[in-house]
Structure 1
Amino acid sequence: MASIYKRGKTWTANVFVLVGGKRTRRTKSGFGTKTEANKWAVNIENQKMQNELIVQNKVFVTSFEEWYLVFKEPQLETATKQWYKRTLSLLTQKWGDRLITDISSSDFQKLINEYGDNHVKSSVSHIKNITSAFVRYAVDEDLIKKDFTRNVNTHSVVKSKDKELKFLEVDEMYRLIERVKNNEAVTSRMIYTSILSGLRFSEVAGLTAKDFNFANNTINVNKSWQIHDQKFKETKTKTSNRTISMPETYMQIAKKWKMGKEFAFESELGTPPSDNAANKQLKRLLEKDDSKIITFHGLRHTHASYLLSKDISIQYVSERLGHSDMNITLSTYAHLLDKKRSEETNKALSFLDNVN
């Protein structure tokens, strides 16, 4: 039988259940009225009668942390780990010691709404998706019966930064190449390498002298350097392991570089410069020519955009970039391809007009 009583200004309900043959108490407090407390108790009694009662009722954030440490942390990169830790911190702040069965869809929607008042939509989506992944696990493990995140919507009032794909125009690219190709700064050499190869920053940083094949004019990409972890790791995807053909002019210049014992691009600290250092150098160089300011990753977009503008096939560009799927390349550079398609349409119609 249930026990319902008033404590201060709120009501508390107790229901006794059997766990492992022992009688234990399920309690919930904070109800505004006796009717609400009684409704909760009746629901627990019904679950007990139908053998649907969750008896391993843990604190939500405790279960979330256990799940993260066992199933997620060993497989994640540092940047992704930070999102899981940020999510755990937010859940702990909002829900504290609340039990996993006491969280409802409205509770989660309120949390998402409050977080969205001060964060961009992409950040809100990270929090929602990570929490949803845990809740689906909790349902599979019979920790809860329903996925309370399923009907929750992302909410944000903070405008996201402009996500327009930023890359250099051809004349800007040429000027940058002239700036870096004979520049002895390690960051300049990294910029020069990226703009002619399309490599990600972590891939450029992970190159060693052995990865340069001067006989065949190729660079072998087989690992990446993770700045935060300060260690080599596998490339982003299996298709990121690739051998890239490089211009002979670049290879002749690179052949003269003094490379480090462990890294091709080695700073005075014995490790590659940080992405922050590379971005600062890139900005300085671009400002000298009044060129558009882009990030180091924008060099990769510049490389791909230039090749696509020269009628290089999308399949080859995708392979050169190391994308796991050509659809990624298509979606990333869709606006460029649409522009190219429009030019091709006009060209085709011009030819067809001559037939008539």
Structure 2
Amino acid sequence: MLREIKNTDLFCDYYAQWIKVYKEGAIRPVTLKKYQMTLVWLKKLAPKLKLCDVSRITYQQILNDYAFTHEKQTTMDFHHQLKGAIIDAVDDGFILKDPTRKAIIKGKTPTPKKIKYLNQYELHTLLNTLNLQNTISWDWLILLVATTGMRFSEALAVTPNDFDFAHQMLSISNTWDYKGEGGFMPTKNRSSIRKIQIDWQTVIQFAELVKRLPIDKPIFITKDRIYNSTVNNILERYCKKANIPIISIHGLRHTHASLLLFAGVSIASVARRLGHSSMTTTQKTYLHIIQELENQDIDLIMRALAGLS
């Protein structure tokens, strides 16, 4: 039973009830956890702040205190998760004016993050090291992620029914809840529902592997709990054996995208293949690669222009 809200209630208590009413059951569990973490921080930063005392200054101070230990993008996410509840509180008359108006988003200087990925030779060496037998194993998942660029949770959810071998297609429409209790979950976003073209060798290999498996059951799920670390540990051993840089299973997704970009595939096509919500995500993620390609383009342009004089 929900209690009646008063403007003298604590802001954190109001936010907790707002999450329960508006977010539980309406968003993915992984997103809900982010709202719940925002609640934890709100209780830490403003434990005694009442709804009626939420002003532009008090709200900005909350953001400033949060930004002291977080990067700017993380602070922006924190702001957006609070803002939804605050706008509702304004609409309901608990807060007189919108305190989020003209909020200044600060944050720590982000540490440089260089994406780990393998070059074509290193990937080829890794794949040749895999122990690909006649039954499904984690080695086959490593191969599938490397050749499709799927997310780990997407690969776990693949069923025999998702393969269209005749048209060399693999459909992505679910993820697997490996962080929770297991089971199918929606994809990260609508753009993540997609069809990925696969090569003939992968078609032949997986057509044989899945032909006797239940068509609607995930091919890689053999027990109740699956851990990302399990596959990463296997991948690490193969990287050491092949004497190549150690990367994670997510690093194989980056490797896939990087090889496509270096091969001249357009950013738009790479974004669709990866299931990114927009090309902006792809551009931000692979900025260093795009800049490297632009430098190569400049060399080509200069050589072309030199031939005109």
* Short-chain TM bin: 0.7 to 0.9
The 1:99/1:166 distance shift into structure 2, 3 A limit, reads same
Match of 1:42 in 2: none
Out of 171, 177, 202, the position equivalent to 2:153 is 202
Decide whether the 8 Å contact of 2:136 with 2:209 is kept in 1.
no
Match of 2:185 in 1: 233
Decide whether the 8 Å contact of 1:260 with 1:266 is kept in 2.
no
Match of 1:23 in 2: none
Match of 1:264 in 2: 219
Out of 298, 302, 305, the position equivalent to 1:345 is 298
Out of 123, 126, 141, the position equivalent to 1:173 is 123
The 1:337/1:155 distance shift into structure 2, 3 A limit, reads closer
Mapped to 2, the partners of 1:150 and 1:322 lie a distance apart of 33
The 1:61/1:247 distance shift into structure 2, 3 A limit, reads same
The 1:255/1:161 distance shift into structure 2, 3 A limit, reads farther
**If you compute each CA radius of gyration, which structure gives the higher value, 1 or 2?**
1
The 1:124/1:238 distance shift into structure 2, 3 A limit, reads closer
Greater fraction of residues in strand: 1
Q: Does 2:78 match 1:127?
A: yes
**How far did 1:195 drift?**
0.8
Q: What are the equivalent positions in structure 2 for 1:102-251 lying under 5 Å apart?
A: 102-116=53-67, 118-119=69-70, 122-150=73-101, 153-154=104-105, 162-180=112-130, 182=132, 186-227=137-178, 228-251=180-203
Decide whether the 8 Å contact of 1:186 with 1:266 is kept in 2.
no
TM-score where L is the length of structure 1 = 0.74
Mapped to 2, the partners of 1:72 and 1:291 lie a distance apart of 44
| CA deviation string 1:115-159 (max 9, x = no partner) | 4555555544443332233222222322112233445545556x7
Match of 1:294 in 2: 247
Mapped to 1, the partners of 2:284 and 2:77 lie a distance apart of 21
Q: SS state of the match for residue 257, structure 1?
A: helix
Out of 314, 319, 331, the position equivalent to 2:267 is 314
TM-score where L is the length of structure 2 = 0.84
Mapped to 2, the partners of 1:161 and 1:294 lie a distance apart of 19
How many residue pairs get aligned? The number is: 300
Q: SS state of the match for residue 209, structure 2?
A: coil
Q: SS state of the match for residue 329, structure 1?
A: helix
More contact order relative to length (CA 8 Å, sep ≥ 6): 2
Match of 1:325 in 2: 278
The 1:64/1:270 distance shift into structure 2, 3 A limit, reads closer
| CA deviation string 1:179-219 (max 9, x = no partner) | 23626672221111011011111111111011122333221
Mapped to 2, the partners of 1:141 and 1:249 lie a distance apart of 60
